[in-house]
C-alpha cells in the first residue's frame, strides 16, 4: 500500500495534458457489447476504473488488444454469457452499465449490484423503471439484478430525477429495442453526448443527447467503429483549481472549454484569471480568493464531482462561503479531513459554511473517495508543511499519472510505501 507525501507551498506552473474522460470510458467500454465486430477506442484514460471495466469484459470472454497506452481494440463477439458475478462488479460503480448493455444485446442480464464511491444512498430505481418501461421484468435477488424480456420495445420514459447512470443505462438498452424510445428529463453531461456519438458511430440512431429529451430509434444491428473519447472535464477542473489554489500559472491542455464553463465561472468569481483558447485554458492566480456561494447541480450546473476540490480553495477565501450540495445527500465526509488541516467549516445537512482562514497546515489525512482524495491533494499543495494522504487507491481510480503531472508543474509530491505491521516488526 502507498500513501502520498506532499510538501506544500510550491506554485504550480507550466502545462498539463488532460486524459480521456473516465465517466465516458466506463460507459463506452460496456457499450461495445452491442457491436457485432471490433471497436477501436482511442484516448482511453490509463486509470484503475477503466482497467477494471476492461478486465470484466475480458473475463466475460471479450478479446481485448492494447494498441498503445491509450488505444484498445475490443471484440465482444466471443462473449457468450449475460451473467456478471459480484467478484467482477464489486470494485466499480459503473459496472451497472453492463445491465443496459447486456439487455440490449441478449434481452437478458443478471448482474451483481455495483461497488464504487460511497457518498450516501445510491439507488438504482430509475434504471429499473427504465428497463421495465422497455418491456423487461427486473428484480433484485441475492444482491443481483435480474432483468429479462422476450424482446425490448421502445417507450416514452420520464426520469423523475436527472440521473446520469439511469440515462446511460436506458440508452444502452434502447438502441436495439424495437421502435422509438424517448427519454425525458435526461441527464445532459458531456459523457452522455459522448456515449450517444459512440453509439451512432456503431450505426445507432440516437438524437438529442445533450438536451433533456433524447430520442432513440431502435436498429437491429450495430457494427464496429473507431472512436476517440472526449477529454475529462473533472480532471481538467481539478488541475484548474489546483493551479488557482497554489497561486499558479498553468495551461491546461486538451480540453473542451465549453465543458468547463461552470468551473471557469466560479473561478472568475473568486478572482482567478481564466483565459480560454480553442482546446486549452490558462489559469493564473495570485493566491488570493474572494468568497463565493456555490451550489452543485446536474450539467450544465456546477458539477458535484468538483465540489470537494473547489471547497478546499474556499477554505482560504476572504470571508464566508456557502457550499450547497444539490446532487448527493452525503458528500461532505472529506470536511473532517480538511478541518484537521485548519479549515473552519460548519456542515448542516447538504450545506457547508466555510469561514476562510489565513492558511492550511499540513497533516496526515485520508482520501474518503475519488474526488475527496483530489481535494486532499489540493489542500496539501496549498498547505504550510507536510501532508500525507492515505487510501490513495481511490485517487488512482480516476486520475491518470497525477503524481507525474503535478511534479511536472513544480509540485513536491511523491508516493511512499506504507510500512505494514509485519514490516515494522521485522525492522524493529
The label of the residue with cell 488557482 reads 244
CB-wise, 136 or 166, nearer to ligand UD1? Answer: 166
Q: For ligand UD1, which residue has the nearest CB?
A: 165
112 binds ligand UD1 (CB under 6 A): no
Q: List the x/- string, 173-202, binding to ligand UD1 by CB under 6 A.
A: --------------x---------------
Least separation, in Å, of the C-beta of 31 and ligand UD1?
13
127 binds ligand UD1 (CB under 6 A): yes
Residues 6+ apart with CB under 8 A from 349: none
Burial level of 27, CB count in 10 A (0-12/13-18/19+)?
Answer: buried
397 binds ligand UD1 (CB under 6 A): no
Give the Cα separation of 163 and 165 in Å (integer).
6
Q: List the x/- string, 13-42, binding to ligand UD1 by CB under 6 A.
A: ----------x--x----------------
Least separation, in Å, of the C-beta of 216 and ligand UD1?
18
Residues 214-253 touching ligand UD1, rule: CB under 6 A, are none
Give the Cα separation of 53 and 64 in Å (integer).
11
Least separation, in Å, of the C-beta of 221 and ligand UD1?
27
Q: Tell how far CA 15 is from the center of its chain.
A: 22
Give the Cα separation of 83 and 283 in Å (integer).
47
The label of the residue with cell 492566480 reads 285
Question: What nine digits make up the cell of 382?
Answer: 496549498
125 binds ligand UD1 (CB under 6 A): yes
Give the Cα separation of 198 and 204 in Å (integer).
9
Rg, C-alpha atoms of the chain: 22
Least separation, in Å, of the C-beta of 127 and ligand UD1?
5
Residues 362-391 touching ligand UD1, rule: CB under 6 A, are none
In the list 50, 133, 173, 327, the residue contacting ligand UD1 (rule: CB under 6 A) is 327
Catalytic residue list contains 117: yes
Size of the site for ligand UD1 (CB under 6 A): 20
> How many C-beta neighbours within 10 Å does residue 179 have?
13
| Given 39, 52, 117, 225, the catalytic residue | 117
- Say how many CA atoms lie within 13 Å of 367 toward its Cβ: 26
In the list 88, 99, 124, 260, the residue contacting ligand UD1 (rule: CB under 6 A) is 124
13-17 β-sheet, strand order: 13-17, 249-253, 280-284, 273-276
Q: Which of 163, 204, 119 is nearest to 299 (CA)?
A: 163
Region of 102-110, 121-129, 313-321, 407-415 interacting with ligand UD1 (CB under 6 A): 121-129
List residues bridging with 108 in a β-sheet.
148
CB-wise, 79 or 124, nearer to ligand UD1? Answer: 124
Query: Which residue ranges make up the site for ligand UD1 (CB under 6 A)?
Result: 23, 26, 93-94, 122-127, 161, 163-166, 187, 304-305, 327-328
Amino acid at each position: 500500500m502507498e500513501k502520498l507525501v506532499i510538501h506544500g507551498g510550491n506554485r504550480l506552473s507550466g502545462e498539463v495534458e488532460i486524459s480521456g474522460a473516465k465517466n465516458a470510458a466506463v460507459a463506452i467500454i460496456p457499450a461495445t457489447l452491442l457491436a457485432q465486430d471490433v471497436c477501436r477506442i482511442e484516448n482511453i484514460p490509463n486509470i484503475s476504473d477503466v482497467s477494471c471495466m476492461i478486465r470484466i469484459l475480458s473475463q466475460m470472454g471479450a478479446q481485448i488488444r492494447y494498441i498503445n497506452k491509450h488505444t484498445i481494440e475490443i471484440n465482444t463477439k466471443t462473449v457468450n454469457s449475460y451473467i456478471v458475478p459480484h467478484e467482477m462488479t464489486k470494485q466499480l460503480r459503473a459496472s451497472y452499465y453492463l445491465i443496459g448493455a447486456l439487455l440490449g444485446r441478449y434481452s437478458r442480464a443478471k448482474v451483481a449490484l455495483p461497488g464504487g464511491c460511497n457518498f450516501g444512498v445510491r439507488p438504482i430505481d430509475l434504471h429499473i423503471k427504465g428497463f421495465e418501461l422497455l418491456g423487461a421484468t427486473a428484480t433484485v435477488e441475492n444482491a443481483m439484478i435480474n432483468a429479462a424480456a422476450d424482446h425490448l420495445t421502445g417507450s416514452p420514459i420520464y426520469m423523475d430525477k436527472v440521473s446520469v447512470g439511469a440515462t446511460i443505462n436506458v440508452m444502452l438498452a434502447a438502441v436495439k429495442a424495437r421502435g422509438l424510445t424517448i427519454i425525458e428529463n435526461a441527464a445532459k453531461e458531456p459523457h452522455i453526448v459522448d456515449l450517444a456519438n459512440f453509439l451512432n458511430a456503431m450505426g445507432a440512431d440516437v438524437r438529442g443527447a445533450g438536451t433533456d429529451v433524447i430520442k432513440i430509434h431502435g436498429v437491429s444491428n450495430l457494427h464496429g467503429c473507431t472512436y476517440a473519447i472526449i477529454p475529462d472535464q473533472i480532471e481538467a477542473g481539478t488541475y484548474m483549481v489546483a493551479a488557482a489554489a497554489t497561486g499558479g500559472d498553468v495551461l491546461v491542455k486538451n480540453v473542451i472549454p465549453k465543458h468547463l464553463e461552470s468551473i471557469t465561472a466560479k473561478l472568475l468569481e473568486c478572482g482567478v484569471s481564466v483565459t480560454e483558447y480553442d482546446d486549452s485554458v490558462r489559469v493564473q492566480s495570485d493566491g488570493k480568493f474572494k468568497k463565493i456561494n456555490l451550489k452543485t447541480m446536474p450539467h450544465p450546473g456546477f458539477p458535484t464531482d468538483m465540489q470537494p476540490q473547489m471547497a478546499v480553495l474556499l477554505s482560504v477565501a476572504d470571508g464566508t462561503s456557502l457550499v450547497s450540495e444539490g446532487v448527493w445527500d452525503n458528500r461532505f465526509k472529506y470536511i473532517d479531513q480538511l478541518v484537521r488541516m485548519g479549515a473552519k467549516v460548519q456542515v448542516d445537512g447538504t450545506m457547508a459554511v466555510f469561514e476562510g482562514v489565513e492558511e492550511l497546515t499540513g497533516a496526515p489525512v485520508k482520501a474518503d473517495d475519488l474526488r475527496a482524495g483530489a481535494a486532499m491533494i489540493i489542500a496539501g499543495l496549498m498547505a504550510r508543511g507536510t501532508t500525507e494522504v492515505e487510501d490513495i487507491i481511490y485517487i488512482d481510480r480516476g486520475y491518470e499519472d497525477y503524481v507525474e503531472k503535478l511534479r511536472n508543474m513544480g509540485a513536491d509530491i511523491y508516493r511512499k510505501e506504507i510500512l505494514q505491521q509485519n514490516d515494522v516488526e521485522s525492522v524493529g
